[in-house]
Chain A
């Protein structure tokens, strides 16, 4: 089955730690995105990538980093510089601009 896989589903982080959220797609899509969703709120764009080895900051990139070494993978690192990382993180991909985005099932990150 083609799709987007995010792992882990739940992640706990101690204060001061970096953690990496995985996002893998086998849809052969060029563009990939990371969004943050806070309770009862909308999606805010963290980073996006249109091609391998290239990515752009979204609206809330501070405290996050990404890489795009392979077309199918777009991992997100939540660094210790992100002061309020507890949220639901969603990864998405899309083949072209005029097509819909496909979403993973999300990773819920909690700081303990």
Chain B
């Protein structure tokens, strides 16, 4: 079975400071990893993904994430946080070696950026 863990329910950062939102995963095959953001009462918006290649992937709105195979992690980062980055962030995984197509999400991390 595949799973995703986001160990922090909430992350608080000051505007202008770097931010990190943590994610670890477990799959049998090759991991396909994704980050999404959700604003109140809305659907999820895609930020970035790792399928293969460079371990550091860049995405929308200045976000990036680093894939670490040995630590089975895919942490989301941004060098300088904005108040408008405040939202709920989800990490997700799909097993690239599985013929099935199930996409599993973590429990979400609420990011609060204070002015």
* Residues in A lying within 8 Å of B, measured CB to CB: 4, 6, 31, 33, 35, 40-43, 45, 48, 50, 56, 58, 88, 90, 92, 94, 97-106, 108
Contact = CB atoms under 8 A, between A and B. Distances in A.
B46 A104 contact: no
Interface residues of chain A: helix, strand, loop or mixed (majority)? strand
Contact of B96 (A35, A45, A97, A100): A97
B90 interface: yes
B90 A42 contact: yes
| A6, A94, A99 pick with most chain B CB within 10 angstroms | A99
Contacts of B104: 45
Contacts of A42: 6, 90, 105-108
A100 B49 CA distance: 7
A67 B32 CA distance: 27
Nearest to B51: A98
A58 B102 contact: yes
Given A41-B107, A43-B90, A100-B34, A106 B102 contact: no
A102 B96 contact: no
24 contacts: A4-B43, A31-B101, A42-B105, A42-B108, A43-B44, A43-B105, A45-B104, A50-B100, A58-B102, A90-B43, A90-B44, A92-B43, A92-B44, A94-B101, A94-B103, A97-B32, A97-B94, A97-B101, A98-B94, A98-B96, A100-B34, A105-B42, A106-B42, A106-B43
B42 A102 contact: no
A1 to B, nearest CB: 15
Contacts of A40: 9
Nearest to B45: A103
B34 A103 contact: no
